[in-house]
């Protein structure tokens, strides 16, 4: 006999409440839909979980990796080449999957580069530049179905939502001194000026400029000054503490779902967030997605790429394994 409670049907269920899930939830609730977001990790809030008094604990967060998905909780296999046997990853390296409210948007560094216009038409760009025979036969490199100009307004919205600090290099097709000379045209400058440079990068920039290069500050989701985003959420200025990657920000300076979106989203009567909910499978009955405990007319995956792919592939994997008399593991 199960103690689980079947939830009432809703318009949309979002799996994963990091950057993607939070942004989708905001847009969907504003459109008048009822949204339930399911997050496998714990609830986390800036004031209670990232207070400056303890967030700079390197043993807890950098070494023991408290903000990340535990490999013992869920992992993936890895091999270096086809001749090896893929084995489970037991300790994360540069690949740091998030776990909990805010996802990897809590412990990221905050570097916020835009793709270059050529990135969206990479196959065409490479063949035009180097010839039709440059790409090996069977390569998967393709042009995107959208281009930079189509996505530029959305880059702009995200940058102003997050209070990105930086120096524009190209506004409406006009080069701007001190900015990235390679970037595509943007509609306007960054919402905040760039962060101050410490001695080492300042000397590097001066040396690069003396050689005829065009150094520019990296765009960062760390507020260089106090900022109020378009949703009315107030962010504090960066204190240059250095505890960015692998840590949450206790100064409300690093953009995350907690510091930009969730304060508004959680007040939406159409929005519900449920933490500690690990989605193992999505069933589809032909007209709607159906879980054992939560039914919806639409579902959206705000998970990391590998998790979303796994959830979509699992039913077909299970059917294939059953035909062979096997029981797949998750």
Do residues 165 and 110 lie in contact, with contact meaning Cβ atoms separated by under 8 Å? no
Condensed to tens digits (0 to 9), the pLDDT of residues 212-261 reads 999 999 999 999 999 999 999 999 999 999 999 999 999 999 999 999 99
Look at residue 126 in the predicted model and tell me its pLDDT: 96
Distances (CA, A) of 197 to 156, 202, 224, 240: 24, 6, 11, 10
Give me the residue spans of the domains in the chain.
Answer: 1-77+91-107+261-330, 111-220
Distances (CA, A) of 88 to 3, 91, 174, 246, 278: 32, 9, 50, 22, 20
H or E element that contains 202 = helix 199-210
In angstroms, the CA 250 to CA 317 distance is 43
Do residues 238 and 222 lie in contact, with contact meaning Cβ atoms separated by under 8 Å? yes
Do residues 230 and 160 lie in contact, with contact meaning Cβ atoms separated by under 8 Å? yes
Write out the chain's pLDDT in tens, 330 residues.
456 667 778 889 898 999 999 999 999 999 999 999 999 899 999 988 998 888 889 999 999 999 998 888 888 888 999 899 999 988 888 788 889 999 999 999 999 999 999 999 999 999 999 998 999 988 899 999 999 999 999 999 999 999 999 999 999 999 999 999 999 999 999 999 999 999 999 999 999 999 999 999 999 999 999 999 999 999 999 999 999 999 999 999 999 999 999 999 999 999 999 999 888 777 766 555 555 555 555 556 656 666 766 666 665 555 444 444 433 333
Rounded to 5 degrees, φ, ψ at 296 are -150, 160
DSSP 86: P
Look at residue 158 in the predicted model and tell me its pLDDT: 97
Class of domain 1-77+91-107+261-330 (CATH, top level): alpha beta
In angstroms, the CA 62 to CA 53 distance is 16
Q: Comparing C-alpha atoms, which of 280, 219, 241 is closest to residue 53?
A: 241
């Amino acid at each position: 006999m199960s103690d689980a409670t079947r939830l009432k049907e809703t318009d949309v269920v979002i799996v994963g409440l990091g950057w993607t899930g939070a942004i989708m939830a905001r847009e969907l609730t504003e459109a008048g839909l009822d949204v339930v977001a399911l997050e496998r990790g714990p609830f986390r809030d800036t004031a209670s979980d990232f207070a400056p008094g303890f967030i700079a604990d390197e043993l807890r967060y950098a070494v023991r990796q408290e903000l990340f998905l535990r490999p013992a909780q869920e992992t993936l296999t890895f091999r270096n080449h086809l001749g090896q046997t893929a084995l489970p990853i037991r300790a994360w390296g540069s690949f740091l999957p998030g776990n909990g409210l805010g996802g990897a948007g809590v412990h990221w560094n905050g570097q916020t580069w835009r793709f270059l216009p050529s990135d969206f038409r990479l196959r065409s760009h490479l063949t035009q530049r180097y010839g039709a025979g440059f790409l090996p036969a069977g390569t998967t490199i393709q042009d995107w179905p959208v281009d930079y100009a189509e996505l530029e307004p959305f880059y702009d919205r995200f940058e102003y939502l997050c209070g990105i600090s930086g120096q524009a290099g190209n506004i409406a097709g006009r080069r701007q001194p001190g900015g990235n000379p390679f970037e595509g045209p943007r509609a306007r400058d960054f919402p905040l000026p760039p962060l101050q440079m410490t001695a080492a990068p300042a000397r590097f920039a001066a040396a690069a400029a003396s050689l005829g290069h065009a150094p520019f500050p990296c765009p960062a989701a760390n507020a260089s000054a106090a900022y109020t985003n378009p949703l009315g959420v107030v962010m504090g200025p960066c204190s240059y503490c250095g505890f960015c990657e692998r840590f949450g920000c206790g100064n409300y300076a690093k953009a995350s779902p907690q510091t930009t979106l969730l304060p508004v989203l959680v007040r939406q009567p159409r929005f519900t967030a449920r933490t500690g909910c690990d989605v193992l499978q999505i069933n589809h009955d032909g007209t709607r997605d159906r879980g054992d405990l939560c039914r919806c007319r639409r579902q959206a995956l705000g998970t990391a790429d590998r998790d979303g792919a796994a959830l979509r592939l699992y039913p077909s994997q299970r059917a294939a394994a059953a035909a062979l008399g096997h029981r797949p593991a998750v």
